[in-house]
Structure 1
Amino acid sequence: MATISNLGVGSGLNLSDLYDSLETAENSKLTTITTQQTKYQSKITAIGQLQSALASLQTATDKLKSVDTFNATAVTSSNTAFSATTASGAVAGSYSINVSQIAVAQTLISQPITDASKLGSTTGTSRTITISQGSGDPVNITLSDSETSLSSVVKAINNSGANVSATTIKGSDGNYRLLLSSKETGTDNDITLTVTGDDTLQAAIGYDSTASSNAMSVQTASQNAKLTVNGIDVESDSNTISDALEGVTLTLKAKSTSDESLVVDKSVDSVKTAITNFVTAYNKVRSVIGSVTKYTAVDAGADQSTSNGALLGDNTVRTVSNRLSSLLTEAQSGGSFAILAQMGITIDPSVSESGVTGNLVIDDTKLTDALTSNAQSVSQFFVGDGEKTGLGTQLSSTLSTMLSTSVGKEGIIKTATDGFNTQIDELADRYTKMQATIEATMARYKTQFTQLDTLMSQLNATSSYLTQQFSSTSSSSSSS
């Protein structure tokens, strides 16, 4: 609101400064509202931080309610002729593997090419190179008369999308040779190359294994991978075999010199990783709770510290904290382990670096021993029946409820956020109404001050006139 600078000109009173003081006093009512808006915005930011931490905890917890997490396996053997990885469905055990041959890709080579600048005829029309492999769709490549040089043919093949790579080799005799290699191993990926519309080019680079003669010859013959798994013959056109053993992928590297043992065991490390991620995510939630509810003590009678958490004393945070703590200390049934501490996961009562208590701490030796000697009970503790029992199952369900945004099923976080937003909307309405009230009040003051200024100006003029009249009368009396 603009300052009124012409008040008091007629009266001589300092009405302008008085008006400004009154305006400042009125506007302080707006400051109170904006301060409250800022506090609620801080609460929304803080509840968002808690929501994010809880979502991360739910992701980590979901791993611990899944049987697949505890059934994870890993290859513990060291093998020479092959390597192996496991996935869901792999069964722990020892398997005998013998690789008799690895899969090889076919390579074709042309006869010496004395004139690499032109392999085809000048036909005045185009010609088509067709590359076929196994049951895949043929790839057709159209070339003009000016595109039959060796370099043009190589470029065209490599740019065609065919599952073939082309290159050239220049020999000591100065002649070039075209080299075609299948990008995939196995006999099903053998190459057939035919040229239509240019017999000269066909005679230079054509190849069909069923033909009596060919321009190109086999430099490296294709072959399928062959191996035995526990004495059973397995053949594949690829050196990566994922269907011989369920959940196990074999990557063949060389021919075996003797039978090799593939050992698949339960994966302690993957379960430890899942539990460690859960502990890290839980401790992050504790850290966020400590931050948003932080309290800094002040002297008696002093204002509250500005470093206090935005959700200090908030019931939502208290409810979340109490519910999570309660679940962690709730005994589980059905296995050898009833509480986390029996597996080496304890609740630290001391104050952490983030200023909170209740963080989880892992005793790696004790947890490893539990997973090695009694993995089934660890699984039972976290998974339970998959519906109502098991820490992972219960915690995941609780977090889902807390974080729900479904209409009619809003969780505690959504409800709190909506409440804060409602407060901000109400404050915005109050601000608008207060601003209108202040403007009306200041307009009234301006009118009243203007009237006062006019009245005082008139009174001052009358006073001056009367003073002059009395002065003239007194002078006349003295003269007579």
Structure 2
Amino acid sequence: MSGVNMNNLYVGDNGRIQFSGLSSNIDFVNVVDQMMKARRIPADNLEKRIDANDEKVAALRELQDLVKTLQTSIDKLYGKASFDKSTDTFASKQAFVSSADGTAGNLISVSANNNAATGNYKFEISQIASKHKVGSETLAANPTDALSTATNGGGTAIGTGTFSVGTAKGSVQIEVTDTDTLRDVRDKINATTGKSGVQASVVKVADGQSTLILTSTDEGSPNRMTLSDDSGNVLQNMGILKDDGSGTMIINSDQEIDPGNDAQFTMDGVSITRSSNNIDDLVDGLSISLFDAKPGTTINVSIEQNLNTAKTAIVDFVDAYNAVKSFINEKTYVDPANNKAAEGSVLLGDSTAKSVESTLQAIAGGTPFRTTSEDSDISVLAQIGITFKSVADAQADSSENGKYTAGTLILDESKLNDTLINNADEVSELFGFKSVTDNPSLIMTSFTGNTSAASYEFSVTKDADGNITSATYTQDGGDPQNATINGDTLTTADGLKLFYNGGDGKTETGTITTSVGLASSMHFAMKGMLDTENGTLQQGIEAFEKENKSFEKKIDAIDLRITNQREVMMNKFINMEQSLAKFKNIQNSLSELMAAGKKDN
């Protein structure tokens, strides 16, 4: 018995089961499948294009992330304006302390923010600020004994009552009951420390002997404690208060552990007093902490520019730029040996990647925009030790990804160090947006990508009430223009924004000169690339995604058409099979009749 080829089994959309070619010996299922496969070639090609586009989208998203990292590194270099210079990497400062005997670090700590001026100071600390501290006499009681029955050194019971404790922060009243222990009184005081500025502790001197200690939470004479008995004589009986001889109760100096001194020191020979050891109002930008006093010891404090911060920012920029450039090189690589695109060159010919590459390379290889009044010997990255790697050097690079390094930046750290030490201001100008004003009443607060390197000459008028009534300017000697006035803020047509704090009832003039550095240009270029709606990269991604949606619709239409065509053709073959089957049945019947006739004869 011959077997049945189940591969030829066909089930139609209507559930009809048919074996392919039983009558015709033609495997019509395979024939139709091959015909439909040929007709689906356009859809197959579209699916390949979708896969290629998906690879491009993935690569562009990765490039987008790399450009974001580059923008983050540029943010530290492009010269964003701030009143306290906190956004100016090149204004970063560091403080050093020293003394002849080497003890400076044990006496004082100094930190400097970007607003601090470079310079040197001499300190001598004669006294540090302390917290006011008062203790009771040694009482005949354990910390857990009732305070009302405990006695002082003279044998007098402490008793019950109310007393007040406080500082400049405020004052609270504490009640002592018959059953309250020293610990209970301590806890009541500490529960209100936030309001009173007083905290308490209990010390067990020996078995059956304890003392209560009260301390101000803040240092200095303005924060000394105020203590009084309101009813009863609890504090007096504890020895914390005493009669001054005129009937007035005062803090017992014999029990005063620390009077709560102010800090006393000299800076450059000037005597200074502060109530706290943490001082931030002495010199702009400096935070000073006093640890100990050592009269006669001179402490040298030096405030210097922190060039390591600037160097780190520049190194980060080089690394981030190279990550972008080498990624684009990899995704657009053409093997020079055979002039063929590498397998991973999914962005070869892509206009978005090319635009990002050419824009960044043009800026990095260019020069800052300066006005004619600006003068600097540094105009290109090569002068600070940053050069571009040649194609030949990249091809000769035997490292794993060396072939992708053409056009990346090479950093000579030694040259960068030397340039920063000797020409830090010019390095800053090479990278960032800079402004110089000849009138301190005109302060630049922000700028845009459209702001020019130019000389702006302003004339500003305020009325007697302090309102700016007129603000005009010329740019590089051109025609006068009106600045936009918003309170004390002035804005030019190209986005330069200024704060004006000139005198009331008069007109003042001033000139602001600007320059636009490489990092500034690159910052705004990348801002355009990374815009979430209209950015170059986002539009490039969306273009491929839109194209893929169009392809998917075409594929769906092709597949629907093929499905219908397949069903039609299968029905035709099935009908043919059925007709052939009928013919064979008739043929068989005729053959049987003829055979029967011959037999009868």
* TM norm structure 1: 0.81
1:95 aligns with 2:125: no
2:308 pairs with one of 264, 269, 285: 269
- Unmatched runs of 5 consecutive residues or more in structure 1: 122-126
Matched with 2:378 is: 337
Shift in Å, 1:429: 1.8
1:287 pairs with one of 326, 329, 353: 326
1:347 aligns with 2:362: no
Cα distance in structure 1, aligned partners of 2:573 and 2:241? 108
1:463 aligns with 2:469: no
**Distance of aligned partners of 1:18 and 1:369 in 2 relative to their CA distance in 1, 3 Å threshold:** same
Identity, % of aligned pairs? 23
The answer as to whether partners of 2:10 and 2:20 remain within 8 angstroms in 1 is no
Could you list the per-position Cα deviations for residues 357-411 of structure 1 after superposition, in whole angstroms to 9, with x for gaps in the alignment? 12222222222222222222222222354644322222222222222335xxx23
Higher relative contact order structure (alpha carbons within 8 Å, sequence separation ≥ 6): 1
Shift in Å, 1:292: 2.5
Cα distance in structure 2, aligned partners of 1:206 and 1:295? 92
Deviates more, 1:12-21 or 1:286-295: 12-21
- Superposed CA RMSD in Å reads 4.0
Name the SS for the 1:103 alignment partner.
coil
Shift in Å, 1:138: 5.8
Cα distance in structure 2, aligned partners of 1:144 and 1:311? 84
Shift in Å, 1:150: 5.2
Higher helix share: 1
Q: Which amino acid counterpart does residue 236 of structure 1 have in structure 2?
A: R
Could you list the per-position Cα deviations for residues 62-110 of structure 1 after superposition, in whole angstroms to 9, with x for gaps in the alignment? 3222273223322244351212111121111111222221122234444
1:370 pairs with one of 404, 419, 431: 419
1:8 aligns with 2:19: yes
Name the SS for the 2:300 alignment partner.
strand
The answer as to whether partners of 2:239 and 2:255 remain within 8 angstroms in 1 is no
**Distance of aligned partners of 1:166 and 1:423 in 2 relative to their CA distance in 1, 3 Å threshold:** farther
Q: Which amino acid counterpart does residue 78 of structure 2 have in structure 1?
A: K
**Distance of aligned partners of 1:462 and 1:53 in 2 relative to their CA distance in 1, 3 Å threshold:** same
Report 1:34-433 matches (<5 A).
34-66=47-79, 68-78=88-98, 80=104, 81-111=107-137, 112=139, 114-117=141-144, 119=146, 132-135=166-169, 148=180, 162=194, 166-191=200-225, 211-212=249-250, 218-256=256-294, 257-295=296-334, 307-332=343-368, 334-349=375-390, 350-351=393-394, 353=399, 354=401, 355-383=404-432, 385=434, 387-388=451-452, 389-405=516-532, 410-433=534-557
1:452 pairs with one of 576, 583, 595: 576
* TM norm structure 2: 0.66
Name the SS for the 2:206 alignment partner.
coil
Name the SS for the 2:292 alignment partner.
coil
Give the count of matched residue pairs. Answer: 462
Q: Which amino acid counterpart does residue 168 of structure 2 have in structure 1?
A: G
**Distance of aligned partners of 1:92 and 1:33 in 2 relative to their CA distance in 1, 3 Å threshold:** same
Cα distance in structure 1, aligned partners of 2:598 and 2:164? 132
**Distance of aligned partners of 1:69 and 1:213 in 2 relative to their CA distance in 1, 3 Å threshold:** closer
The answer as to whether partners of 2:39 and 2:562 remain within 8 angstroms in 1 is yes
Deviates more, 1:172-181 or 1:340-349: 172-181
Name the SS for the 2:218 alignment partner.
coil
Could you list the per-position Cα deviations for residues 252-279 of structure 1 after superposition, in whole angstroms to 9, with x for gaps in the alignment? 1221433322111222222212221221
Q: Which amino acid counterpart does residue 219 of structure 2 have in structure 1?
A: T
Q: Which amino acid counterpart does residue 309 of structure 2 have in structure 1?
A: S
Could you list the per-position Cα deviations for residues 114-148 of structure 1 after superposition, in whole angstroms to 9, with x for gaps in the alignment? 25446478xxxxx999864423x6679999999x5
**Distance of aligned partners of 1:150 and 1:293 in 2 relative to their CA distance in 1, 3 Å threshold:** farther
- Unmatched runs of 5 consecutive residues or more in structure 2: 1-8, 12-16, 80-84, 149-160, 243-247, 436-450, 453-515
Higher strand share: 2
The answer as to whether partners of 1:401 and 1:411 remain within 8 angstroms in 2 is yes
**Distance of aligned partners of 1:172 and 1:128 in 2 relative to their CA distance in 1, 3 Å threshold:** closer
Cα distance in structure 1, aligned partners of 2:594 and 2:163? 126
Q: Which amino acid counterpart does residue 19 of structure 2 have in structure 1?
A: G
Cα distance in structure 2, aligned partners of 1:466 and 1:207? 137
